[in-house]
A and B are shown apart, each in its own frame.
Chain A
Amino acid sequence: MAKDDASAPTNLSRRRLFQAAGAAGVAAALPAGTAQAQQRASATAYVFFNPAESAFIEAAVARLIPKDETGPGALEAGVPNYIDKQLGGAWGAGERLYRSGPWQQGVPSQGYQLPFTPSELFRTAIRAINEKTKFSKLPQKEQDAFLDSLQKGREDLGGVPSNVFFESLLQVTIEGFFSDPAYGGNRDMLAWKMIGFPGAYADFYEYVDKHNVAYTAPPTSLAQDARGWIHVHVVRKGS
């Protein structure tokens, strides 16, 4: 297999460091900002979620994309903050969602057919969940079993079938993990660094035909200034 590492900006990719090192090595390989990121993960100022809702969301995303030996998870990446801003914004209010009735449930191939906007859907389903369980207080194993039952089940969560809610929750969790940090998740681009995605960077002309090159330049965010600082629209004092 042809190697062309010499043509890459540096010889050892951050991704490889992740793969080679254990958890301690991972922390060492991350830029200084990430250690702070882990500490402030729950210090987000929520504008949409109430405390009962955020307790569920923080606990749930930590199981959907957990912190493990591959690196930080959705909680450390600030995904609850991302979901909060999405649900409180245009998308949560039903942007680009066709909302005329009559409402009826069809077959799965016809897609989403509920009258709820995303913010209504989350609020309704989480209320029903919180009425039946203290999810955030459960042991991880029971949390996983509960999430599994949401995914596989058709239980009625205040009008929202549990599988519909679960799919929405998983989708926004993945979005928050992998979208630009400008949206409040993927803090310090940690998810991009974990997989080796260069983000908003735009020019690979010189690399594309250098086959099997280990591309190692750090990623770029939309919200990055010339010093490399990422400006996210919600910053809590002292965070």
Chain B
Amino acid sequence: MATRLPETDVVMLGVGLVGSIVGRELTRAGLEVVGLERGEPRYTVPDFQGPAMHDELRYSIRTSLMMDTAKETYTFRNNAEQTALPIRRIQGFLPGMGLGGSAVHWNGQTWRFHDSDLRMRTLATERYGKDFLGPEYTFQDWDVSYSELEPYYDRFEYLLGIAGKAGNLRGRKVPGGNVLEEPRARDYPTRPMKEPYGSAMFRKAAEGLGYHPFPAPSANMSEPYTNPEGVTLNTCMFCGYCERYGCEHFAKSSPQTVVLPVLLKDPKFKLRTHCQVQRIDLDSSGRTATGVTYVDAQGREFEQPAKLVVVGLFALNNVRMMLLSKIGAPYDPSSGNGVVGRNYTYQTTSGVQVFYDESVNINPFMRSGACGTVIADFVADNFDHAKLGFLGGAYIGEVLTHGRPIEFHPTPPGTPSWGSAWKKAVVRHYNHTTVVNVHGSSIATRYNYLDLDPTYKDAWGQPLMRMTFDFPENDLKMSAYVTERAAEIAKAMGGKQTAGGPRRRPYTVTQYQSTHNTGGTIMGAERSTSALNRYCQSWDVPNVFVIGASNFPQNASYNPTDTVGALAYWAADAIVNKYVKSPGPLVS
């Protein structure tokens, strides 16, 4: 029997990036917020300090900061003909666990999407015609345009102190910045990071081929920065332990380093850790949430009543929470009906290695998670797709994030995987190799989706979520085209040899590609094709808001975090200035 707790204004599911920002905005507006976090409380001091943090085995290989897959995981299959099996050891993508969520162990690559991503159906139809892609592709508009989101991107980037160089200031092109980006109201809050050697060679090669290289926007600090919350970040030391690690230097923007120090002092915010939310509770009409039921570390069940429920879990878990709570119709791929679980998308990545002479010291260990040089010439709709037969694109860049040797020990093609020949190749190439990354979009199809697994359960007896995914034909074509461009740049970078190729099927969960799982609780203009309206509010239960990369109707060329942060501010603004004044559906 659950213990019923006193009612709060808002219960926040997950205290990661979204929970910290929305918690701050709602408490600032005077609301009482309870934040429920499944993992542990953890802080820069003492939890992320060196030298213990610089342990590749513990953090990269044994994934200590990630979801504990002994207790909960996902099941996976490439298509509906297969039986989904549990991902018994998480490798292909890395959901975080604990205070700060995945924004503790992220790299810090912070990108704005294009209007052609947000209004993809409308703009692609205008430019390429209605039937450019087949009917199996279910990409659609977000019902939010870039110009509407711009002030929220701006706010998020100034919270984080992003290091970068604007290339488009209110329509004025600025050489050296990303001249192909959407217009921004003002420049980045901090100057770009230093350019490592490999990035400099990429810049030269890309310029020589007529492209427009610029420094990647980074949440690793180029200089000290005090954000509008009054929290100060330090300069990044390029230690090479960023993704999969917490930052010991207060130099990577994360909830702990940009907003939690303020939020956790606010008496209106109550953090509860080790709380596993089982479901959002609904009243008998099924149209109003009454709060949530969670289980604490001792297995005690609690009911936390709330006037408003905000879901800010890892993207896949947002979808699962909606399915477990029976909010919104589950998506059915055979009919195409239903909305929750619809348009699950991912990220289409590839890479080209450049092997140099021993006279070239790449020093891969002198890096940060987001420093590097990039081109956007093949991003989104920055290039004409009419003759290419696909939509979407990718950025190409030298964004080597580390040189940790269990994960990074490149060898040229044809090298055996063990023995003396392998060892000699590792010693020969370790410090003399870089990688040109291709980070590409993922289009929605009718066949890639999320639902509850019929067989496997978590440690609390709840069904795991089932992922059904393989790379769509459109994205394989995109990857082939853009990876070929990347290979041309790589060949011009002065190495002895290059190696790499496009993404191929099948998608496999045993090899890390990206943590960017997107879609499943998508936003949109129509309740028949989206789970949420443009304010991230459930169409079915208006006092439930869901915020995260699960809101993306399809995934863009760029990394998702900037857009997740912008949506957090966008939704919080709608809650404070629209919903609280007049609770009910914000879109009828």
Contacts and interface: CB of A to CB of B under 8 A. Distances in A.
Interface stretch (B27-35, B54-62, B120-128, B297-305): B54-62
Interface stretch (B155-163, B232-240, B570-578): B232-240
A166 B196 CA distance: 37
B78 A107 contact: yes
Interface stretch (A30-38, A39-47, A129-137, A175-183): A175-183
A231 interface: no
A170 interface: yes
Interface string B106-124: 0000000000000000000
A51 interface: no
B196 A97 contact: no
Q: How many B residues touch the partner, as a band?
A: 35 or more
A49 B83 CA distance: 37
Contact of A109 (B88, B89, B423, B506): B506
Given A96-B62, A97-B69, A97-B70, A205 B238 contact: yes
Given A96-B69, A198-B365, A108 B510 contact: yes
Interface residues of A, number: 67
Interface stretch (A119-127, A153-161, A210-218): A210-218
Contacts of A96: 62-63, 68-70, 89-90
B268 interface: no
A98 B406 contact: no
Contacts of B62: 91, 95-96
Given A1-B360, A202-B51, A66 B419 contact: yes
Given A68-B424, A70-B427, A220-B51, A195 B405 contact: yes
A91 B64 CA distance: 11
Contacts of B87: 98, 110-111
B238 A109 contact: no
A179 B82 contact: no
B80 interface: no
A111 B509 contact: yes
A212 B418 CA distance: 29
Contacts of A66: 419-420, 423
B430 interface: yes
Nearest to A66: B420
Contacts of A100: 86, 456-457
Contacts of B367: 208
Given A200-B55, A208-B194, A209-B195, A111 B88 contact: yes
B562 interface: no
Interface string B86-109: 111111100000000000000000
A68 B77 contact: no
A102 B87 CA distance: 13
Nearest to A147: B418
Contacts of A104: 83, 85
A158 to B, nearest CB: 20
A130 B299 CA distance: 45
A228 to B, nearest CB: 14
Contacts of A94: 70
A195 B88 contact: no
A63 B509 CA distance: 29
Interface in A87-107: 91, 94-100, 102, 104, 106-107
B76 interface: yes
B54 A202 contact: yes
B361 A214 contact: yes
A70 B423 contact: yes
Contacts of A63: 418-419
Contacts of A187: none
A191 B427 CA distance: 9
Interface in A184-239: 191-192, 194-205, 207-209, 211-215, 220, 222
Contacts, number: 192
Contacts of A180: 55-57
Interface string A53-94: 000000000011110111101000000000000000001001
A63 B416 CA distance: 13
Contact of A197 (B89, B241, B403): B403
A147 B194 CA distance: 46
Given A94-B70, A200-B50, A70 B424 contact: yes
Interface string B42-75: 0000000011101111000111000011100100
B211 interface: no
B427 A18 contact: yes
B146 interface: no
B148 to A, nearest CB: 38
B181 interface: no
A13 B62 CA distance: 32
B25 interface: no
Contacts of A178: 56, 405-406, 409
Given A98-B70, A170-B417, A222-B51, A110 B509 contact: yes
Contacts of A182: 55
Contacts of A68: 420, 423-424
A194 B409 CA distance: 12
B157 to A, nearest CB: 23
B88 A202 contact: no
B57 A202 contact: no
Contact of B86 (A18, A71, A98, A144): A98
Contacts of B404: 197
Given A100-B86, A205-B237, A222 B55 contact: yes
A55 B198 CA distance: 44
B531 to A, nearest CB: 27
Contacts of A64: 418-419
Interface string B216-248: 000000000000000000011111110000001
B426 interface: yes
Given A68-B424, A98-B70, A111-B510, A200 B358 contact: no
B366 interface: yes
Interface of A: 1, 15, 18-19, 63-66, 68-71, 73, 91, 94-100, 102, 104, 106-113, 144, 147, 151, 170, 173-175, 178-180, 182-183, 191-192, 194-205, 207-209, 211-215, 220, 222
7 contacts: A63-B418, A97-B69, A109-B510, A110-B77, A110-B509, A196-B430, A215-B363
The 4 A-B pairs at the shortest CB distance, nearest first, are namely: A109-B508, A204-B366, A200-B54, A195-B430
